[in-house]
Each structure stands twice: as structure tokens, then as C-alpha cells.
Amino acid sequence: MEGNKTLYISIFIAVLFHVSGLVGMLTDARPWFISMTPLTLVLMTGLIIWNEKIIHREFILFFGLCFSFGYLSELIGTSTGLLFGEYAYGYAMGYMVLGVPLLIGIQWFVTVYSIGHTVLFGYSLVKGNGYRSIFTNFLLVIFAAGLTTLFDFILEPSAVSLGYWEWHPEGLIPFFNYISWFFISGFLLVPFFMLEQMSRHINYFSIILIFIQTIFFLLV
């Protein structure tokens, strides 16, 4: 019962923040609502953690991997243009180090972790929660990486309009941006599906959150 209460409160807060953001962006207060992006992202991350049954060592290591690898990937991307193309971050995502917002590492965690749980939940409905072979985990990684890339495809136009980042020189998004998203997210998803503790319990809030975020970016 306590777990359900936590989930319901978390869903209410997530819906409240995202709906308020959508409505606020239709008013003259749009810049202020956009400036609340860092707060919203940190809060959603906190709610994911709150909905974890046990904060185990593998969860902490996975968070650290997503944060550091996600941030470093973006740093290489903005510095060289090799991974994603020519782009630069705006100030909407908060404090930046070397031209990259620190929160982008948290966004990588939220996205990969939420989609990982979404795929895991779907698989459990079909096959149950029993043993998964290495080959099965490999297929789940591929499928989840594909969904993560699709999420970025939905995210990109909204992120530009919200001032998260901008593409150079003509605002065109190169196709290899999505290729990089697929392989980077796939790399991060390997430990998610391979480590036993990561997939022992499904974080239902993270599944609902990625659905809310998808709808939010589609409507923006």
C-alpha cells in the first residue's frame, strides 16, 4: 500500500509540473517556465529514486555511468561535431561546464533508465520474470536502444524551440545524430539488462514518466 501511495503521489507531481509547463508556455511567462527546466529534471530524477524499492550498489553505479558517459559524449559532441553534428547548448538547461550543462548527464540517466524499465515491463508481460538468456538480453538492448533513438527524434524539434540547444549552421539535424544516440544508449543499456539487481524490480514511475515526457514534447 505504501508503494502505491508513493507511485500515485509521484505521478500527480509529474503530471502537475508538465501540464503547468505546457499551459505556461502559451502565456507571456514562457521564458520563466522554460527556466524551470533544471528544477523539473532534478525533481523527476528524485521521484525515480523515491520509487526505487532498494537503492542498491548497482543502481548507484548505473546512475554514475549514465551521468559521466552521457556528459562526456555531449562534451565530445559539442567540441568536435563528430558524434552528433554541429550544435551548441543554450542556457535553458542550467549550469554548464565547458559548454555542456551538467544536467545533460542526468537526462541521459532518466531517458535510458525509463525506457529500459518500459521494455523490461513489456517483456515481463509476455514472458514473465524468469531467467533471461544472454541472447534475449541482447535483443532487449537493441529494442530499447531503438526506442531511445525514437524518443530523441521526438525530442529534437521541441528542444530547439525551448532553447535547450541549437544546430549549426542551418538548423538541420544530421542523420548520424540518431546513429550515435542508438549506439550510446545501447552501450548504457547493456549493464541495465545484464546486471541482476537492475532488472529485479520494475520502477513503474519511470515508465509513466517517459510516457508523460513523450506527450509533453509532442505537444510542445
Helix (H) or strand (E) holding 96: strand 96-97
pTM for this prediction: 0.92
Q: Which helix (H) or strand (E) holds 106?
A: helix 103-127
Residues 197/56, Cβ–Cβ less than 8 Å: yes
Residue listed under C-alpha cell 540518431: 178
The secondary structure of the chain in percent helix, strand, coil, rounded to multiples of 5, reads 75, 5, 25
Residue 130 pLDDT exceeds 80: no
Q: Write down the number of H helices and E strands in the chain.
A: 8, 4
Position 20 scores a pLDDT of: 94
What burial class does residue 149 get, using C-beta atoms within 10 Å of its C-beta: 0-12 exposed, 13-18 middle, 19+ buried? Answer: buried
- Is the backbone of residue 217 left (phi > 0), alpha (psi -120 to 50) or beta? alpha
CA angle centred on 152, ends 151 and 154, rounded to 5°: 65
- Cell readout for 59 is 543502481
The arithmetic mean of pLDDT across residues 16-43, rounded, is 92
Considering the chain, what percentage of its residues have pLDDT values greater than 90?
A: 69
Segment 30-68, tens digit of pLDDT = 889 999 999 999 999 999 999 998 888 899 999 999 999
pLDDT given at position 2: 54
Mean pLDDT value of segment 111-118: 97
Residue 3 confidence (pLDDT): 59
Q: Residue 1 pLDDT > 60, yes or no?
A: no
Q: What is the model's pLDDT at position 127?
A: 84
Q: Is the pLDDT of residue 6 over 70?
A: yes
Mean pLDDT check: name the lowest of 17-31, 64-78, 103-117, 142-156: 17-31
Instruction: Report the distance separating Cα 141 and Cα 188, nearest Å.
Output: 9
Residue range 74-108, pLDDT digits in tens: 999 999 988 898 999 988 888 999 999 999 999 99
Does residue 200 carry a pLDDT above 80? Answer: no
Q: Which residue has the cell 508538465?
A: 18
Domain ranges of the chain: 2-219
Q: Give the range among 54-58, 117-121, 137-141, 215-219 with minimum mean pLDDT.
A: 54-58
Give 145-193 pLDDT, tens digit per residue.
Answer: 999 999 999 999 999 888 899 998 877 889 999 999 999 999 999 999 9
Report percent pLDDT > 70 for the chain.
99
pLDDT: which is higher, 133 or 148: 148
